[in-house]
Chains A and B, each alone.
Chain A
Amino acid sequence: MSEVHVIGQILGASGFPESSVFCKWKVQMGSAWRVLQGDHEGQTQIDEPSDEPIANWCHPIDLHFATKGLQGWPKFHLQVWHQDVYGRNELYSYGFCHVPTSPGLHEIDCVTWRPKGSLIEELKTQFIGGSAQLKNPDLVSSSAELYKLRTVSMGKVHLRLHVIVRNFDKYGVEF
């Protein structure tokens, strides 16, 4: 059984239209993988930066996986949400990024997008708030179904992850 450790932080986000954003994250992986230790999902704090237009979350990620194969390498599903002045939460964007496959420190910028509605829906989003959401958020990383969507680009989520692997060399895996 090989093991993978992912230790790092979801640092923050930049490039979003308003500040006061937070991130819901979840780890998705194939059937050969198992989370031995660590939370596989969570939600960051809501940050409203005072100096620069970058939300700082510094949310710790500490995951310990065990695996029997390389397929289904874990990936993060990210959802960036915005809390407005009235305390309502609306979805800003979706994004996903694979856990890097090489051991070492990685600085990752995960780009995100949101679904684009019709003209009326976009006007509603602009004036009232709220936005179109995917019925099945797992669609974010499925390559077969995304062709049906029309999307709008949003900002980036920044992660700093260090990957440690163990016991892969006896199966002949080269990193």
Chain B
Amino acid sequence: MNTKPTSFLVFVNGAIENAEVNDFDDLYLRFSYVIGKDWKICSGLEEGTTQIAHKSVQLGSKIVFNFPLEATFRATNPFGWPQLVISGYGLDAFGNDVVRGYGTTYIPISPGRHRIRIPLFVPRSSSRFQQFLAWFFGRRPEFVDPKVIAFNAGREMTRVRSHGYVQVVFNVVTKDLEELGYKIETKHSSQTSQQRSEKNETTYVDNYHA
């Protein structure tokens, strides 16, 4: 006789596909997962760095990474669901390694293939003079710990400037979530979550133009 499972598993495969940015031509990303205290990473890299990628000479091209992401999580509670935190860095005109942007998204909950467009944002300097100094010396404002963007607290007075997006594809499989009594989809949906998030390539930008 099978004993009831006490934890569930979430398998995530996917890739950081590309970044769309206007202001600069090269970028590398550091990624990490932020999880709650009821969660554990069973396998896969919990943090890593991509290659340094450049745009091609075509006008309007994106910075392509095609960087694999694979992880397995075990948990007893959906609270603290994993978030992917991305920080992008690149070389500025003076050859300094500066921060280009931070972004975060939740690993999708419904099983299936999801393409998500994560906006990138970078902290702003406190004043114009500080901004000039930051540009000149190559010491731009950055977060001490990029994982802070995955939390609710302490964000109140962070002033940021958003520019560009990173596109990530996730394939998600869950095990034993339903055994533990969790219902993550409604049986009456006319459109599955997967279809809805496949259409989410342009996220909510369409709402503005409509």
Contacts and interface: CB of A to CB of B under 8 A. Distances in A.
Interface of A: 5, 7-9, 11-12, 14-15, 20, 36-39, 42-56, 58-62, 64, 83, 102-105, 107, 109, 156, 158, 162, 164-169, 175
Interface string B54-90: 0000000000000000000000011111010000000
Contacts of A44: 155
B30 interface: no
B184 A47 contact: no
A164 B186 contact: no
Interface string B31-70: 0000010000000000000000000000000000000000
Interface residues on B, range: 35 or more
B208 A14 contact: yes
Given A12-B204, A56-B121, A166-B181, A45 B159 contact: yes
Contacts of B83: 60
B189 A102 contact: yes
Contacts of A169: 183
B112 to A, nearest CB: 10
Question: Which of A11, A51, A59, A104 has the most C-beta atoms of chain B within 10 angstroms of its own C-beta?
Answer: A104
B170 to A, nearest CB: 12
A42 B153 CA distance: 7
A58 B105 contact: yes
A83 to B, nearest CB: 8
Nearest to A20: B159
A154 B205 CA distance: 17
